[in-house]
A = this chain, B = another copy of it.
Amino acid sequence: MPVGTQGAVKAVPHEMLEALDAEIILGNTYHLYLRPGHEAIRSMGGLHRFMSWPRALLTDSGGFQVYSLSQLRKVSDDGVQFRSHLDGSSHFFTPEHSIDVQIALGADVIMAFDECTEYPASRGRAEESLRLTMAWAERSLAHFRAHRDEVPWRRQGGSQVPISEPGTARISPDNPSDDHRTQSLFAIVQGGMYRDLRRQCTERLVEMAFDGYAIGGLSVGEPRELTLEVISEVLPLLPRDKPRYVMGVGYPDEIEQYARMGVDMMDCVLPTRAARHALLFTSEGRVNIKNKQYAEDQNPPDPACSCPVCRRYSRAYLRHLMQAGEPLAATLNSIHNLAFYLGIMQRVRNSLEADSQQLTADR
């Protein structure tokens, strides 16, 4: 999932995302809550309509940004008090409030409010954080069940014609009738780097019967072996008929590895953020397109790539755009990196499909 933090994938027009077959993008609840505000977005019909994105959307719970961006964070059993990174204003997020905000935004997939455990964390700290996450998951689920009919695109009427078909990418097996389609709620597994805590959290959340499951608390500075260990521990415990989502990863080889292990969804700012800093991911490895060696290199950024950027532009031109500070540099670099990431996922899907056809044939 390309990340569209503030309701836009940075520097990439929607048309390009559609041309790249991006099926779903992620918006950050924390950012959209602060600006332009979830009530404004609700009153305009939800995030799909506000940003004019008819395909699927996922919003996170706000928990991770409260943890990573906000100031003077104060956690209690009830929720988290924090100050905005924009203007220092004071806010209080509870599980119920996070769900309310996410219902107002109206993404297809929303996330239970969690507390992201930092790395490293002592066992005592991880246990305490886990206790909160599990209690908050239960409260998120209860609140969602009571209010899931309030999603703005279920209440469209009057003269407004829906510009999009949110909910059609619905993953939840509940409410199969179109009349009752609503959002899907995923839980987030925490537990730090402690395998038994991760197992305990997973089993408890699976009992609660969410629509899908995410593994959170990764990409917080831990070594990659630990990331892999946690995913390996949790993944087999998750239901095979529900989406399994690893949050906030990763490098191209990581996402390929995790997808082959059975992970269905991932999100990461890396392809777009790296692009803005001149780093391209290619079939030949990482390319810092600002390097002098590309000044007159008329090859495409990635000779093996058929994305709109590699079909049209040379390394020399992309280098020039970066050197000259042209905003188009961020756009073109981001399009290529997203194409590269989405291409990896497409290849994994094709290969899984071929495997399963082979299995059927062998039977």
B320 contacts A14, C-beta separation under 8 Å: no
**Which residues does chain B contribute within 8 Å of A320, judged by CB atoms?**
6-7, 35-36, 50
Q: Does A97 contact B (CB under 8 A)?
A: no
* A interface residues, how many (CB within 8 angstroms): 40
A44 contacts B327, C-beta separation under 8 Å: no
| Distance in angstroms between the alpha carbons of A199 and B81 in the assembled complex | 74
Q: Does A72 contact B (CB under 8 A)?
A: no
A328 contacts B13, C-beta separation under 8 Å: yes
Which of A129-137, A281-289, A307-315 forms part of the interface with chain B?
Answer: A307-315
Cβ-closest chain B residue relative to A10: B327
A296 contacts B40, C-beta separation under 8 Å: yes
**Which residues does chain B contribute within 8 Å of A35, judged by CB atoms?**
320, 323-324
| Distance in angstroms between the alpha carbons of A36 and B6 in the assembled complex | 34
A313 contacts B52, C-beta separation under 8 Å: yes
**Which residues does chain B contribute within 8 Å of A296, judged by CB atoms?**
40, 43-44
Q: Does A196 contact B (CB under 8 A)?
A: no
Q: Does A261 contact B (CB under 8 A)?
A: no
B6 contacts A324, C-beta separation under 8 Å: yes
B298 contacts A11, C-beta separation under 8 Å: no
A328 contacts B44, C-beta separation under 8 Å: no
What would 22 A/B residue contacts be, using CB atoms closer than 8 Å?
A6-B320, A7-B317, A7-B321, A8-B328, A9-B328, A10-B326, A10-B328, A12-B328, A15-B308, A35-B323, A36-B323, A36-B324, A40-B295, A44-B316, A50-B316, A50-B317, A51-B317, A52-B312, A52-B317, A327-B330, A327-B331, A331-B331
